[in-house]
Amino acid sequence: MTTGLEVLLKLLRPVAREQIERGLGHPETCIPTSRILQAVLGHFGFQSIPVATEVNVYNGIFAEMIKSFGGQRPTPEQIKPWQEKGAFSVRISSEMATAGVPISGTGWDGHLILRVEDIVLDGSIEMCNRSTKNIILPKLLWVSVDENWDVGKREAGETLPNGCEVSYTKINDQSWRSTPYWTEQFDGRMRSIANEIMSRVEHQAATKPNKSSRKTSPSSH
């Protein structure tokens, strides 16, 4: 990841999710979030492409449980003691719908993120927060990927400092492209949200202490 992109993402992290939720009026936002962030990134000179995924989020105990089974599929009896200790996970996947599990939101049951430089960027991962289950996620998450992600590798993941694990698996599903958030004109509320994010980022960049920030400011990319 280039220095310029890293600077931009650190400036986006405290403002993007807040502005998007406020502008849309609800937190179930992966499709409009990706569209808005794609516009914001483009404004600062960074190209990105949307990627359809499923996402799995584990709290620290669940992650420990997965490791303890060494890749073997545990039985319900084996899982139960870990659940009693607090193991918990959140999943957004079309498989949940086919299993009869209700999916929140409307129109699509996957999770949309962006591919930019050598990372994938998720601006709506916080909607998987479950603080009572010790799943506490950042407002903006980026995970390293390489060229193999583009040509066939399907999975990427990150272990967070608090022990939570987040993993993404690419899915062959383009139905998000026909959802209202993707087909509506990029003006009105979404353009307004993007413009507000850009304005706040530029204000932050202009008012940060001048530690060589001119070289890394996103507005100069």
Q: Three-state SS string across 86-126, please?
A: CCCEEEECHHHHHCCCCCCCCCCCCEEEEEECCEEEECCHH
**Domain 3-215 grouped into CATH 3.40.50:** no
| Residue pointed to by tokens 């608090």 | 162
The reported pLDDT for the residue numbered 105 is 45
- Torsion (CA) 209, 210, 213, 218 in degrees, nearest 10: 60
pTM flag (> 0.85): yes
Confidence (pLDDT) at 70 = 87
Per-residue pLDDT of the chain (221 residues), as tens digits, is: 999 999 999 999 999 999 999 999 988 889 999 999 999 999 999 999 999 999 999 999 999 999 999 878 888 899 999 999 999 999 998 764 443 333 444 457 899 999 999 999 999 999 999 999 999 999 999 999 988 888 878 899 999 999 999 999 999 989 999 988 999 888 889 999 999 999 999 998 888 776 544 444 565 44
Q: Return the CA Rg of the chain.
A: 18
For the stretch 155-175, what's the b/e string if a residue is b when 16 or more beta carbons lie within 10 angstroms of its beta carbon?
A: ebebebeebbbbbbebbeeee
pLDDT confidence of residue 199? 96
Helix %, strand %, coil % of the chain (to 5): 45, 20, 35
